[in-house]
Amino acid sequence: MLCLSIAQTTTVDVVTTIAKYRKHADLFEVRVDRVSDLDLAAVLAAGKRTLLLTALGPTPDGQEARPILEAAIRAGVGYVCAPPELIELLAEQKTRKTRLIAAIHEDSVTPPDLSALADRAFASGADIAKVVTRALKVSDNFSVLDYLRSETRPVIAFCSGDLGTPSRIVAVPSGSLLTFCCADDGPKTADGQVPITQMRTVYDTHRLKEPFRIFGVMGDPVGQSWSPALFNSVFAEQEKNAIYLPFLTRDVDDMLEIIRRVPIRGMSVTIPHKETVFEKLDGVDTNTTASGSVNTIVNEDGNLVGYNTDTDAAMDLVPADLRDVRATLLGSGGTARAIAATLVARGARLTICGRTPQRAQGLARQVGADWRPWEERETIETDFWINATPIGMVPEVDASPISAGVLRGVETVFDVVYNPPETKLVQMAWKTGCKVIRGLDMFLGQAARQYELWFGTQAPRETLQKALEDMQ
């Protein structure tokens, strides 16, 4: 079940939210400890059996929540959630209509023995145990998921925090009674919650059956990535028992170990880990060596092999003959490295400008290009601009790495940013009359190649293209 956790703090807003999302949510969590003017009768009238009343502390005015929860139980509310010590008192008022949830929150860590936490919860007389731990690294998600698969009692379990989002997404197909989502247009009651429409459309976990396969993207940040929406759309279309998840990754070694252990067959790699991962894999594809970075991992029976499908996509988009073409590449990260190798191989007279001088100089030496300081980029005479920085990416959609004036006389502009599809740089290039290569085209090309590496079959390009069109 998907439970929409309502963050609104007035009765009117709570009732309005319930009405708005009635077709999307299976349950609605109303926080007794947050709503300042709680009108219990009005809230119950909005959907008694689909309500989960939660009190993890006193009411906003400092009063005990127990009388409110007892009244809700007498009225036949569907679920009540509270700490074990309060559930023990409420169990005396229990009726057949209401199920009691004892909540245990470990806000600083994910301990090794999660079943012991559930034991504490059930000892209160609860019908359901809710076990929430803090994700400090990606592997904490899988500790919770492993626990869910082994637990036979009715439990709700997932990780909190921004790093805990994967466990929230696949909690239900892994054995949790429900998972909590947030409203599409409102605040969250906890970090890591996913908007409910995104849960229904992008992740659509009701189609999964254990054991399902996991794919994903690792990076920091990952929220801007379109890859989950793209690949999950294709998986659903092809009826694959698989899901593609976003892994906010700050500990690369921990993530790589999880890929081996789970195992995760395929992983996309995005900023800022493309070069770090390159150094830590068991092997890399021959065509990837020149770029010094990877954006794709394939798990071959525990051996992690790296590829750079950005290189493949760039080779498809960039003209085959660039002799005598003056090209200026902005950026020196993993994507820039893949493109630089392609440009030089095709004869371009390449100049590299990066915001980190040492990295830009190092890349220039590696591929045999010139280097100029970032501050001098608009003084360079060029025929071909390539933006391989995140400048212009959501949410900074009004930013551009260069001004419109320097585009006069330029033949081609290539912006690797795909979200938004039409960046400010792309719009300026079109207005100036430049030929434009969009990041969206590169994104589609590299994703198709990733699919082929992970599944060993030809990519369904029409399905990928349609999925991208539907996302715009």
Task: Report the DSSP beta bridge partners of residue 307.
Answer: 296
Longest dimension (CA), the chain: 84
Residue 52: enclosing H or E segment and its boundaries? Answer: strand 51-54
Residues 209, 210, 211, 214, Cα dihedral to 10°: 60
Closest CA relative to residue 355, chosen from 326, 340, 377: 377
Concatenate the DSSP letters of all residues of 419-466 into one string: SSSS-HHHHHHHHHT-EEE-HHHHHHHHHHHHHHHHHSS---HHHHHH
For this structure, is 274 an active site residue? yes
First to last CA, the chain: 28
Structure tokens at 192: 């890591």
The residue from 274, 280, 424, 466 that is catalytic is: 274
Q: Which residues contact 426 (CB under 8 A, 6 or more apart)?
A: 413, 415, 436, 438
Which residue is associated with the tokens 């947050």? Answer: 34
Residues 319, 324, 328, 332, Cα dihedral to 10°: 80
Residue 88 CB coordination number (10 Å): 16
Task: Give catalytic residues, as residue numbers.
Answer: 274
